[in-house]
Structure 1
Amino acid sequence: MPGYAHCPSSHTYAARNGPAPTEDRREPDTATNAEPSGERLSTAQEPEHLHARPDWLCRICGEPWPCLEARTRLLAEYSDFPSLLKIYLSAQMYDALDDFTAHGEPAPLNLYERFISWARNRPPTR
């Protein structure tokens, strides 16, 4: 029949569009992968040690933020730009100061030591 477009054969379809779709097109599991030994590997990252406002305690370990783990990670993240780390920490310190004094309480005396003094190119200490 002239002008009749017939359905493409499976070879023509595959050549233009890749393999024909199947009914079961599940996405691969990206969270875990099974090793030949049966062990499952996770691609999930460890949770970040971030602050919880207005108390400025670590959301993971409950220590005053920046906790030891947060300090270690921040030093590694900003290792090429230590001055930017100090700028970031200064901004965090002033946000914490605002939160701590929002209800008329006096400012904590150790904010500089807690937020900035440790930010040098050496491993953090407690």
Structure 2
Amino acid sequence: MQVNNVTVVIGLAIIGAVGYWLYGLIMSWPTVSAPYKYALAFYFYAIFVPVHSFVDVWDWMMDIHITPFPNLNGLIGLIGMALYSFLTLFVIIPLSLGYILKKLKLTWGNLFALFLAPGFLAIVWYIVASVLGWLFATS
């Protein structure tokens, strides 16, 4: 089966729209009701805070003035950001995840399932609460 360009564009648009909706939902985790707040807080601290650290480091690298030359400072900031990104993505995160997997005797599939568990439990909670609310409605 051959996939054409229109299908790819529509699929990417759907993924982008769902991602944008999830981003807004995760960012508003303190205002959500109790059972869902905990799942959204997990994803906020598991996804957004580490990703946002790149923005914080980028801002810091561009604001420090090591030399009186702004172009050289920008180049130093770019090199520092590239080094930070490389070390974080290819050294620190894989070593940390490898240590966790080895220490807890987990597989990558188990770790992925643990990552999806809060969202799955929130969905189950929503479905059960909706069904019970409908079932025991008085009017």
- Structure 1-normalised TM-score? 0.26
Task: Give the greater-gyration-radius structure (CA).
Answer: 1
Q: Which has the higher contact order (CA 8 A, sep 6+)?
A: 2
* Higher fraction of strand: 1
* Higher fraction of helix: 2
- Structure 2-normalised TM-score? 0.24
